[in-house]
Structure 1
Amino acid sequence: MIRYALKCAEGHDFESWFQSAEAYDTLAASGHLSCTICGGSDVRKALMAPKVAANDARSDAPSDATPPARPLSNPGAAPSNPAEAAIAALREKVEKTATYVGGAFAKEARAIHEGEKPDRPIWGEANATEARALIEDGVPVAPLPFRPKSKSN
């Protein structure tokens, strides 16, 4: 397991654990990383200092040079702040009132917009190119600040 400090295009800093460096690279290349704060998909590794133990008796003492790691949010735990509570409430509402269409989101949203399918609330996944095309064509879409539970790490 490896922990990376991450940063989104909006400047939000957060951390996440990955099975390996290769696992991070695979997820990043396939667009499966998202900001835990805004949901943005433009996520990159941030500069991070490794924790290095000293070879003397002081190695057990806490170092002032390395700040303590921030606790990571646990998706299964109760929300620890108002933002997490709001996201949890939004997730609950979306899951109760909308149909999850997965990777077919762009196709379904366009079909609903063009009247080919009945109007209904849907949610799912679209890559940046698909989302941009929907927006350019006037299809009302918005990013959600969470991923499907089956895809959360």
Structure 2
Amino acid sequence: MNLSNLSPATGSTRNNKRLGRGTGSGRGGTSTRGHKGQKSRSGYSKKSGFEGGQMPLQRRVPKFGFKNINRIEYKGVNLDVLQGLNEQHGATTMDAAFFVASGLASKNAKIKVLGRGEITQALEVHAHAFSKSAVEAIEKAGGKAVTL
């Protein structure tokens, strides 16, 4: 096998509709656009959200609330998850790179450790934020909570 003899799987591709190539093609004449009117002309495009003159949905529904531009979104990781990772991988130090490698967070996500569950091992956890109960539980088990 090489690049010169590659081809798509059978049935995975279709030929394009050839419009306006005479009446014998079955798609001549009006080229599947019906008769006359704005929609049959070239260059026609409907404004997105246009509902034929009826008041469009985005103008009927009232506006409310606001987006706080200073909000920081955290990816929450609970203590029981940390305990599970410790049992699975035997890791005692857990930092951002470890969370990315284990699929708990994306590369640029900020991580917050939350207090659900128990922790029995002394773990050193590096995260962007911790809940009070999580810090208490980690330190009670003999570990360290390091804020990045």
Fold shared, TM-score > 0.5 on shorter chain: no
TM normalised by structure 1 equals 0.18
**Which protein has the larger Cα radius of gyration, Structure 1 or Structure 2?**
2
Taking structure 2 as the reference length, what is the TM-score of the superposition? Answer: 0.18
- Which structure dedicates a bigger proportion of its chain to helix? 1
